[in-house]
Amino acid sequence: MKKFLLTIAAAAMAAGLNAQQTYNFFDAADVDSDGWLWFDTQAKLDKYCGYASKTKSFAIQLQDADYELEDFSQPQCTTDAGYTGLGTDGTKGGANSRTGAIILPPAGPGFSALTAPGGRGGAIMLHLPDCAKLDVCVSAEQEAINLCVHVASGNVRVTEVQMIKGGEKIGGVFGDDLENVTYTGNWNDIEQLEDSEYGPNWDQYFKIQSNPGEKRTVLIGNYMKNSPLYIHGIRVLTYSDNSGAGVEEIGNATTDDNAPLYNVFGVKVDSSYKGIVIKNGKKFVNR
């Protein structure tokens, strides 16, 4: 009888864990019935996506490609609610295609995940209060889609996230192509990735999925040299209620034409500064 009661108690505990309350990381009004945030309107792209500055942060932070062009600028991420991706048949607007995307520029011409990891393409970064579920819908201008995932415990800077090696059954993490995805498709269950064998903290092993209250920083980047990576939608569930995620105003942020300028290192500059600058959370080249 005692063994039977212990078995019942263990089953009840497992059921309780599986039934734990989760919340959508994005506002309920912006996601569909399955919890997906689709980038099919410019309003949603402007609300959630942008370059962070000292005065403003976005739920989806854009990160430039990790290499320089001839003019010393870095290829920038863009957003386009009107972009129509390739379908699974390889034609623009074809079967299962999506409209609207965050557009991550390609990796550098000399990029290699093993020998030259500094040349990855553009990326998005999420600062999560914790992580229960993470899926993305992507497309590319080539049949095989190759991307990377980096993660860190806590909410940290982009330089502090490390590469996830991941499991082969999910793919697309360490130089592998996404399995069962041709030109476009969903990459589901990213939160199950673990085994952080590579990176500056190579001895830290943990899943992207976390316990309630355990913060995660997740970066998803483009590893393809011949195509941008188009992110059409994303689904993020957390254990913490993050209602109102989107643009976070820090201090007395301003969005008018007189807003201050910052360089990529977060240093305040004036209008005579030449190069990449950030204004109102948006990044552009000042010539």
pLDDT in tens, 134-189: 999 999 999 888 888 888 888 888 877 777 653 333 333 444 456 667 788 888 88
pLDDT tens per residue, range 31-63: 999 999 999 999 999 999 999 887 788 999 999
Residues with Cβ within 8 Å of residue 160, at least 6 apart in sequence: 152, 200, 217
Average the pLDDT over 196-206 and give the result.
52
Cα-Cα-Cα-Cα torsion 274, 276, 279, 280, nearest 10 degrees, comes to 170
What number of residues does the chain have?
287
72 pLDDT exceeds 90?
no
Lowest mean pLDDT among 81-85, 106-110, 260-264: 260-264
pLDDT top residue among 193 and 200: 193
Q: How far is CA 107 from CA 88, 120, 162, 254, in A?
A: 23, 4, 17, 34
Residue 194 burial (CB count, 10 A): 16
Tell me the backbone φ, ψ of residue 126, rounded to 5 degrees: -120, 130
Cα–Cα distance for residue pair 271/287, rounded to 1 Å: 10
Q: Tell me what pLDDT residue 84 has.
A: 95
Residue 4 burial (CB count, 10 A): 8
Strand, helix or coil at 3?
Answer: helix
pLDDT tens per residue, range 179-195: 667 788 888 888 988 75
Q: Tell me what pLDDT residue 175 has.
A: 42
pLDDT top residue among 132 and 169: 132
| Residue 279 near residue 260, CB atoms below 8 Å | yes
3 pLDDT exceeds 80?
no
Residue 49 burial (CB count, 10 A): 23
Per-residue confidence at 270, pLDDT binned at 50, 70, 90?
A: confident
199 pLDDT exceeds 50?
no
Q: HSE of 96 in the Cβ direction (CA atoms, 13 Å)?
A: 14
DSSP, residue by residue, 120-176? ---EEEEEES--SEEEEEEEESSSS-BEEEEEEESS--GGG-EE----TTTBSSSSP
Q: In the structure encoding, which two tokens stand for residue 146, read together?
A: 């190759």
Strand, helix or coil at 202?
Answer: coil
Lowest mean pLDDT among 16-20, 73-77, 92-96, 117-121: 16-20
Of 148, 225, 218, 144, the C-alpha closest to 185 is 144
Which helix (DSSP H) or strand (DSSP E) does residue 47 occupy? helix 42-48
Cα–Cα distance for residue pair 153/146, rounded to 1 Å: 24
Q: Tell me what pLDDT residue 110 has.
A: 80
User: The pTM is what?
Assistant: 0.76
pLDDT tens per residue, range 212-255: 999 999 999 998 999 999 999 999 999 998 765 665 554 444 45
